[in-house]
Chains A and B, each alone.
Chain A
Amino acid sequence: MHTSVVVVGAGPGGLAMSHHLTRAGLDHVLFERGTVAHSWRTERWDSLRLLTPNWMTTLPGAGYRGNDPDGYMTAIETVATLEEYSRSFDPPLHTGIEVESARFVGNGFQVRTNDATWHCDAVVAATGGSSETRIPDLASDLPRGMEQLTSLSYRRPAQIDDRGKVLVVGASASGVQIADELRRSGHDVTISVGEHVRLPRSYRGCDIYWWLDRIGQLDERWNEVEDLRRSRRHASVQVVGSEDRREVDLLSLQRLGVALVGRLMAIRGMTAFCSGGLGSLVSNADLKQARMLKRIDDWVNEHDLVDLVGPASQPDPTILGQVPTELDLRRFAAVIWATGFRPTYRWLDPLAFDRRGRVDHDGGVAKTPGLYLLGLPFLRRRRSNLLAGLGIDAAEICQHLAGHLEEVGRSPIRTSR
């Protein structure tokens, strides 16, 4: 079977890509292992909502048309949005297709699926950056029989045995949201905190993402930052999309009665050892928050908007009391790993990877010609892995891809690699 472009993954990234390819008149197929927005149906907890307000959920050719622009859509609503989007332009979608391998052959690719083998000139990996969770090696040192969940397998508080404490490991958006929900449902929660990003849900009367969008922070480009690798590893902001717009930062969790401990460093027998450096990380996060809010204040002043928004303010600093550096695991019934995600590209030709096992790419354009990535954190912009950013990345990738197809069409077939 032959086509020009194989797009892998029919989530928002793959759909956006297919939209642009369709508009450009480029022959392609969109492979999806399940059905449209599969991971949004199967790998999200019940109460999950997007971090960003609904007005930001724009896909190519389709803005948000619901009646709650300032609300935060649920996973189910996200699925419905993506299904509706898919119906609106009828992509060449093949569901139930698992890509088993994509190998460089000649100037193009041989893509084997569970159904057939395809030949194509370009491949777009649009499976996103959250295909699997990152779990530290020390997880294997946890006592056997201790319940372990991850941010992909967690669903609801009732899932967790409440006869003991819960340890949530990780304090990015997932970790603080899960800790907040569990605490509110009556569980005794401890959260282990490493590096984190603190920002208020609302500032001066507007949503934080409204500000980040306005001041241009979300559009900062990958080739314009000093330390891209570090920027790509940034923890997600400690906010939750909720109707009451409540805060879920460490201070708020503390006030709810969640116990804070430092980063989980080692497990020996029934004792978990946590870093004594939490104070340093907390000060750092508060300082960075202050810098971002000041950046917003400066923008407000420069654009003469002082009378149109609320007054500037300083969130309360996070004050830690006595933070234990040891936890008695006998008091804990469950551990939830909210320690980050990573993409899965097991099907991809090993030649596409660098010596560190990561796909070698520049802004989503792989070093190995014809291969493209979508939906990774800070792929091309800070908004690259937000629903509000996939469309524009897809447009730029599509442009590059179209150029590549033209070149391949002109040049003679090279010998197989």
Chain B
Amino acid sequence: MTQTEAPIIDNGVNIEALRGARQALTDAPEAARFQWRARCEWVNGTHSRSSLTDFSGLGQEHSHRQAFTIEADHPEVFSSEDKGATPPEIVLGALASCLTAGVATVATNRGIQLRSVTATVQGDMDLQGILGIEPEVRNGFNHIDVRYEIDADASRADIEAIVAQSQKRSAVFDIVTNPTTVQVTVA
């Protein structure tokens, strides 16, 4: 082994494939247009079940290998059945997952071996919003804190840079921090 050989790192990310995809999509921007979907069925009370099965992109339809489902409900303190996590909690999970996937990808791209990565997320919400008690109070989160604990073969500065880059390229970070148009219709 020569001194100039970079250590082999493995975070489980197929970085070569991602780089190839980025190059391919630069030359074919139409193929980059994806549509993600969810189908939600009411079960009972505030309990519902969302199925995530198919999506489109690269000019065609795709299916996950298995249908993924997410149960959602309200907790007992809301006089509900607690059959699933609340939708806001699921959003926090989505944010953490998106950022964490980004951390793994960016670390791999930079040749840094990760040993453990944990994100602790807290979202503050004043229920006077959703309960319609105070018009000045928004329905959603007032603020979200995400705290990363990362054990990796890298300096603190490098780790901070990885986390910063992950935010920069995160879909859910953008979804949560910036306005998105949503249209709800009835068939």
Q: Which A residues lie at the B interface, using CB under 8 A?
A: 262-263, 265-266, 273, 275-277, 280, 283-284, 287, 290-291
Chain B residue contacts of A262, Cβ below 8 A: 177
Q: Smallest Cβ distance from A317 to chain B, in angstroms?
A: 12
Q: A280, B178: Cβ atoms under 8 Å?
A: no
Q: Smallest Cβ distance from A18 to chain B, in angstroms?
A: 37
CA distance A265 to B174 in the complex (A): 11
At the interface with chain A, which of B9-17, B40-48, B53-61, B156-164?
B156-164
> Pick the contact of A291 from B157, B168, B176 — CB < 8 Å?
B157
> Pick the contact of A284 from B157, B164, B173 — CB < 8 Å?
B164
Q: B157, A276: Cβ atoms under 8 Å?
A: no
CA distance A287 to B161 in the complex (A): 7
Main secondary structure of the interface of B (DSSP, over half): helix
Q: B177, A277: Cβ atoms under 8 Å?
A: yes
Q: A276, B176: Cβ atoms under 8 Å?
A: yes
> Pick the contact of B179 from A273, A287, A290 — CB < 8 Å?
A273
Q: Smallest Cβ distance from B169 to chain A, in angstroms?
A: 11
Q: B179, A266: Cβ atoms under 8 Å?
A: yes
Chain B residue contacts of A291, Cβ below 8 A: 157, 161
Q: Smallest Cβ distance from A305 to chain B, in angstroms?
A: 23
Q: A275, B178: Cβ atoms under 8 Å?
A: yes
Q: B173, A280: Cβ atoms under 8 Å?
A: yes
> Pick the contact of B168 from A266, A276, A280 — CB < 8 Å?
A280
Q: Smallest Cβ distance from B164 to chain A, in angstroms?
A: 4
Q: A280, B167: Cβ atoms under 8 Å?
A: yes
Chain A residue contacts of B174, Cβ below 8 A: 277
Q: B157, A287: Cβ atoms under 8 Å?
A: yes
CA distance A280 to B168 in the complex (A): 8
Q: B160, A276: Cβ atoms under 8 Å?
A: no
Interface flags, B24-60, vs A, CB<8A=1, else 0: 0000000000000000000000000000000000000
Q: Which of B157, B173, B176, B178 has the most CB of A within 10 A?
A: B178
Contact A275-B177, Cβ < 8 Å, known A280-B164, A280-B168, A287-B164: yes
CA distance A65 to B136 in the complex (A): 62
CA distance A384 to B177 in the complex (A): 35
Q: A290, B173: Cβ atoms under 8 Å?
A: no
CA distance A287 to B173 in the complex (A): 19
Q: Smallest Cβ distance from A280 to chain B, in angstroms?
A: 4
Chain B residue contacts of A280, Cβ below 8 A: 164, 167-168, 173, 177
Interface flags, B54-75, vs A, CB<8A=1, else 0: 0000000000000000000000
Chain A residue contacts of B160, Cβ below 8 A: 283, 287
Chain A residue contacts of B168, Cβ below 8 A: 280, 284
CA distance A276 to B176 in the complex (A): 8
* New A-B pairs, 14, CB < 8 Å, besides A262-B177, A280-B173, A284-B164: A266-B179, A273-B179, A275-B177, A277-B167, A277-B173, A277-B174, A280-B164, A283-B160, A284-B165, A284-B168, A287-B157, A287-B160, A287-B164, A291-B157
